[in-house]
Amino acid sequence: MKVEIEKLDHFGRGITHINGKICFIDKALPGEVVKIKIIKDSKKYMVGKIVDYYKLSDDRIDEVCRYSDICGGCSLSHLTINEENKFKCMKVKELLERFGSISSEKVCDVICLDEYGYRNKVTLHGQNSLLGYCENGSNRVFNVDKCLLANEKINGILEILNKMSFNESIDEAVVRCSNDSSEVMVSLKGDISDYSSLRNVVDTLIINDEVLLGDESIVSNIGNKKFYVSDGSFFQVNKNLTKKLYDEVLDVVKCEKPKKILDLYCGTGTIGIYVSDYTDSVIGVDYSKEGINDANKNKELNNCKNIKFICDKVENVIDQFDDIDMVIVDPPRAGLDNKTIDNIKRIAAETVVYVSCDPATLGRDLKYLSDSYDVIEVKPFNMFPRTYHIENFVLLRRKNNG
């Protein structure tokens, strides 16, 4: 069947309509005319697969990854990076308008650095002596010995792990690298007895939660701050753009000079520590024991005397805080719960910074906050180039009546 692609959906899939029913087609671009076969036809939608091209978009590029046909990770690797950034900007505008009634004028252009090689962490799955990612839309694992999104150091380790997986039963492999590539941590799960090939190439080796080589964490840097990162804790994956994102928060702190800052969903304490030189005190909250353990070590490492961390769910402790000048939130994709939003309004800090990795829940939360806070600006950061994901920085200021 010959169809013309109308636009991209928010997952980067091409959209067309067949007899009025919406049809999603992977790796198809607006304006392209393609031959498809229907691989799913449900009541509400269809899914098509490209079998031939009649007209190609000028924005299409050759895919450079050898796994691009089976891997679902890089859904936009057939599109120029400029067009990817325009698509992501449009996506943020649409979702914030739809869920948050935020005017698109508030949304700035996308900030993007490296197209490839930006990731400081990958997670691979093991299956039948294969070690890699899951095939698009399935649980079947395909072998990956080089991921273009990961930095060189990680790819060197992937080659070794692939050879190891022929003899050892690896269920999962997490490979992490410090942002300057000087330290590597490998954490494996499975039935593994011979790890000699990793001995001279990793700084930390953890197998089934037991530290077998090196320390329990590696040290990574963001700007002039250093951070311990251990196996279970969250750490931003884009090694260069994270600094730009944190600089954005730092600029607000330098400009508004808040005396007391609350850093909610603080992970390893990174944002709070990054801005701590420019404020009187910071309180960080995260429910991850590993995260807060690292955060407390990071406080010592950076000689921060004015920061304290609480290990608990934000919603369990948020009603204890008063007299805060700035609240920073960086929640997971689910966004903020109602109790947290109500308490952010009650605390009534002059400034709120919302860092979000999901524009839909971000829009919803901005709407709930809108009776007390104005959105000043939204800056999308392309932390995950070639995928459909996008991070946002939002600056909010308390309304006079708030």
Ligand X SMILES: C[S@@+](CC[C@H](N)C(=O)[O-])C[C@H]1O[C@@H](n2cnc3c(N)ncnc32)[C@H](O)[C@@H]1O
Active site residues: 357
Nearer to ligand X, 162 or 340 (CB): 340
The reply on whether position 266 binds ligand X by CB under 6 A is: yes
CB 357 within 8 A of CB 391: yes
Shortest separation between residue 134's beta carbon and ligand X, angstroms:
22
Give the nearest distance from C-beta 221 to ligand X in angstroms: 14
- Rounded CA-CA distance 401/398 in Å is 8
- Nearest to 342, CA basis, from 363, 314, 361, 323: 314
Cβ-Cβ contacts under 8 Å for 338 (sequence gap 6 or more):
368
- Report the sign of the C-alpha dihedral through residues 95, 101, 102, 104, in that order: positive
Nearer to ligand X, 48 or 291 (CB): 291
Q: Binding to ligand X by residue 24, rule CB under 6 A?
A: no
286 binds ligand X (CB under 6 A): yes
Nearer to ligand X, 16 or 220 (CB): 220
Q: Any idea what the Cα angle at residue 180 is, between residues 178 and 182, rounded to 5°?
A: 65
| From candidates 81, 271, 347, 366, binder to ligand X by CB under 6 A | 271
The residue number whose beta carbon is nearest to ligand X equals 267
- CA distances 22 to 26, 39, 83, 95, Å, are 13, 13, 23, 19
Going from the C-alpha of 123 to that of each of 126, 186, 237, the distances in angstroms are 10, 10, 12
The residue among 189 and 313 lying less far from ligand X, judged by its C-beta, is: 313
208-247 footprint of ligand X as x/- string (CB under 6 A): --------------------------xxx-----------
- Rounded to a whole number of angstroms, the minimum distance from the CB of residue 291 to ligand X is 5
Q: Nearest 5°: CA angle at 299, between 293 and 301?
A: 100
* CB of 298 vs ligand X, minimal distance in Å: 11
Q: Which amino acid is at 134?
A: C
Q: Which of 126, 132, 291, 380 binds ligand X (CB under 6 A)?
A: 291
Asked if 309 touches ligand X (CB under 6 A), the answer is: no
Report the distance separating Cα 273 and Cα 71, nearest Å. 37
* Angle (CA) 165 167 169, round 5°: 60
- What is the Cα–Cα distance from 151 to 252, expressed in whole angstroms? 31
Size of the site for ligand X (CB under 6 A): 19
Is residue 57 a contact point for ligand X (CB under 6 A)?
no
Considering only 267, 335, 363, 385, the residue that binds ligand X (CB under 6 A) is 267
**What x-and-dash track marks residues 328-367 binding ligand X by CB under 6 A?**
--xxx-----------------------------------
Question: Which pair of structure tokens corresponds to residue 326?
Answer: 């700035």
The amino acid at 232? G
DSSP letter, residue 357: S
Query: Where does this chain touch ligand X (CB under 6 A) — which range of 37-45, 68-76, 161-169, 279-287?
Result: 279-287
Q: What does residue 111 show for φ and ψ, rounded to 5 degrees?
A: -100, 125
Which CB sits closer to ligand X, 133 or 246?
246
The residue ranges that bind ligand X (CB under 6 A) are 234-236, 265-267, 270-271, 285-288, 291, 313-315, 330-332
